[in-house]
Amino acid sequence: MTVGGEVVGSILGPGLCVLVGVTHDDTREHAKRLAAKLWSLRILDGEKSCSDLGAPLLVVSQFTLYGNAAKGRRPTWNAAAPGEVAEPMVDAVVAELRALGAHVETGVFGADMKVGLVNDGPITLVLDI
């Protein structure tokens, strides 16, 4: 993942690229539960988890996950928490993962990030906590 042409976060080999969207009523407890789920989710090769393999996670803040394009041609972002609420929640997910023993790389909150991804499978999941 790069910002302004500089690599700010990167993982190699098996691991997870985690796009974290935050909405208005998310709490520190949600962050803790999400971290535990991500660390133990058995979706890597051989039904292993990141905790089983010591696999890293790349955590990217992603308010666009709460975009709503149900009406018209322009999405709204009303369900996404504002930056001053969302940034501490993304930081909390990262802190909780690290407390569990995970190696976590991150982007830069609010920056124009370029994220490269090799999706093995492919598999993409939405986890609502």
Bridge partners, residue 61, by sequence: 20
Question: What is d(CA 20, CA 28) in angstroms, rounded to the nearest whole number?
Answer: 14
DSSP E strands in 1-129: the ranges are 2-3, 6-7, 16-20, 57-61, 104-106, 113-114
The answer to whether residue 64 is catalytic is yes
Catalytic residue among 2, 23, 27, 62: 62
Catalytic residue among 2, 23, 27, 63: 63
Catalytic residue among 23, 27, 64, 106: 64
How large is the angle between the packed helices 28-40 and 83-99, nearest 10 degrees?
A: 40
Q: Is the Cβ–Cβ distance between 29 and 71 less than 8 Å?
A: no
Question: What is d(CA 21, CA 64) in angstroms, rounded to the nearest whole number?
Answer: 7
Catalytic site positions: 62-64
